[in-house]
Structure 1
Amino acid sequence: MKLSILATLLTSAAAFAPSKVAQTSTALNAEGELLEVKEKVPCFGATPLGGEPVFIGENYWDKLTTEYGSEATGTFLRAAELKHGRSAMLAVTGFAFHKLGLTLNNISPHEYLSITNNVKFADLAAMSPVEAIKHVPAEGMAQMFAAIALVEIYELTHKDGKLAYDETVAPGLQPGGLTGDLGWNPLNVKVTDRRRLSELQNGRAAMFAISAWVAAETIPGSVPIPLPW
Structure 2
Amino acid sequence: MKTAVIASLVASAAAFAPAQQSRASTSVQAKPFENELGAMTPLGLFDPLGLIADGSKEKFDLLREYEIKHGRISMLAVTGYLTTAAGIRFPGAEGIPDGLKSFPALLETKDGQNVLLQMLAFFTIAEIVNRDASWTDAKAEFVGDYRNGALDFGWDNFDASTKLKKRTIELNNGRAAMMGIWGLVVHEMMGNSILPGGYLPGQ
Tell me what 2:8 maps to: none
Shift of 1:215: 1.1
Q: 1:79·1:180 contact (CA, 8 Å) conserved in 2?
A: yes
2:117 is matched with which residue: 120, 142, 154? 142
Q: 1:46·1:56 contact (CA, 8 Å) conserved in 2?
A: yes
TM, length-normalised to structure 2: 0.61
| One-letter code aligned to 1:71 | K
Judged with a 3 Å threshold, the aligned counterparts in structure 2 of structure 1 residues 78 and 139 are, in CA distance, closer, same or farther, namely same
Q: 1:88·1:210 contact (CA, 8 Å) conserved in 2?
A: yes
| Secondary structure in 1 matching 2:41 | strand
Distance in 2, Cα, partners of 1:179 & 1:139? 35
* Aligned positions of 1:171-182 closer than 5 A: 179-182=143-146
Judged with a 3 Å threshold, the aligned counterparts in structure 2 of structure 1 residues 200 and 157 are, in CA distance, closer, same or farther, namely closer
Judged with a 3 Å threshold, the aligned counterparts in structure 2 of structure 1 residues 205 and 156 are, in CA distance, closer, same or farther, namely closer
Distance in 1, Cα, partners of 2:52 & 2:169? 23
Shift of 1:142: 3.2
1:187 is matched with which residue: 114, 132, 153? 153
Shift of 1:102: 2.1
Q: Which has the larger radius of gyration?
A: 2
Which one has a larger percent helix, Structure 1 or Structure 2? Answer: 2
Percent of paired sites with the same residue: 25
Shift of 1:182: 1.1
Deviations 1:110-148 (A, max 9, x none): xx3xxxxxxxx1111xx2321113323444333323322
Q: 2:85·2:99 contact (CA, 8 Å) conserved in 1?
A: yes
| Secondary structure in 1 matching 2:143 | coil
Tell me what 2:167 maps to: 196
Distance in 1, Cα, partners of 2:46 & 2:68? 16
| Secondary structure in 1 matching 2:73 | helix
Shift of 1:217: 1.1
TM, length-normalised to structure 1: 0.55
| One-letter code aligned to 2:94 | A
Q: 1:216·1:222 contact (CA, 8 Å) conserved in 2?
A: yes
Q: 1:157·1:163 contact (CA, 8 Å) conserved in 2?
A: no
* Aligned positions of 1:65-80 closer than 5 A: 65-66=54-55, 70-80=56-66
- Gaps of at least 5 residues in structure 1 are 1-38, 113-120, 165-170, 224-229
Matched positions, count: 151
Tell me what 1:214 maps to: 185
Distance in 1, Cα, partners of 2:183 & 2:127? 28
Tell me what 1:19 maps to: none
Distance in 1, Cα, partners of 2:58 & 2:124? 23
Tell me what 2:82 maps to: 96
Shift of 1:192: 0.7
Tell me what 2:18 maps to: none
| Secondary structure in 2 matching 1:135 | helix
Distance in 2, Cα, partners of 1:156 & 1:84? 13
Shift of 1:155: 4.9
Which one has a larger percent strand, Structure 1 or Structure 2? Answer: 1
Tell me what 1:55 maps to: 45
